[in-house]
Each structure stands twice: as structure tokens, then as C-alpha cells.
Amino acid sequence: MNIALIAHDKKKDDLIRFVLAYQPIFEQHSLFATGTTGTRITTETGLPVHRFRSGPLGGDQEIGAYIANDKMDLVLFFRDPLTAQPHEPDVSALIRLCDVYCVPLATNMGSAEVLVKGLERGDIEWRSIINGNE
């Protein structure tokens, strides 16, 4: 499965801890991330990550393009709801595309935990039928 990992600045520490906690699961999948998030994941967990541009510089939109082309199977986006983002329209567009294409999306650690456990159990295997991936 192709998994997008994204975190706003104040949530990046949480995302790193989350990826470390579930590293054995993430190791079995292809990881994608916005620029700064991806750099931190690679540096602090050693996992390979395909990095897009930084979120404010178009990274959210690049991930949105993957979603629109059925190339993203799961999105874990640790949003910061208490800080205004200069690229808020991009954030909204990414979330909207997840809804358009029925891509499982978590916007906080609580829901991310449920999705990752579902991923491990095979609950998201139906995505393989859509995109032909294994």
C-alpha cells in the first residue's frame, strides 16, 4: 500500500513517535510524505520515504494528485487545528480529495491508530482491487 504521512510543525514529534511505535507495520509499505515531515521520518526512523515538496510549497497538492490518480491508499495527516496555516486551501483540498476518492484518512493520532491497526489486519485490502497494487 502507498501511505502518505504528513504533519504540521507542532504535530511532527507526535508523528515521529507514532511511526516508531508502528514501525514493523510501516516497513511493509511504501511511504510518502511532504518535505519536512519526510526528512524527519527518514532521519529519525531510518525508513525510506518518497518526499514531495514541503506542504506550504505545494507538497499537499502533490499528494492530492496521487490521490486523484488512485496512487495513494491511506493518508495519515496529523493536523494542527490551533495554528493558522498559510496554505489552508491546500490542506482543505487534500482532505476533500480523500473524500472524493474514498481514501481512508486520519487527521489525528487517535484515528490514525485505528486505521493502522485496520491496515495490519487487512481491512484496507479493497484498495488493491482499485489500483491493482499488492
Ligand X SMILES: O=C(CO)COP(=O)(O)O
Which candidate, 80, 48, 77, places its Cα nearest to that of 63?
77
Q: CB nearer to ligand X: give 8 or 127.
A: 8
Rounded least distance, CB 126 to ligand X, Å:
27
Integer CA distances (angstroms), 41 to 44, 52, 123, 126, 128, in order: 5, 13, 25, 27, 25
Q: Would you say 29 is a known binding-site residue?
A: no
Any known ligand binding at 38? no
Pairing of strands 105-106, 49-51: unpaired
* Residue 70 designated active-site: no
Contact predicate 5/112, CB 8 Å: no
Contact residues for ligand X (CB under 6 A)? 6, 8, 34-37, 54-56, 59-60, 91
87 marked as binding residue = yes
* From 13, 14, 60, 73, active-site residue: 60
The residues annotated with a catalytic role in the active site are 60
Binding residues for substrate: 8, 12, 34-37, 54-55, 87
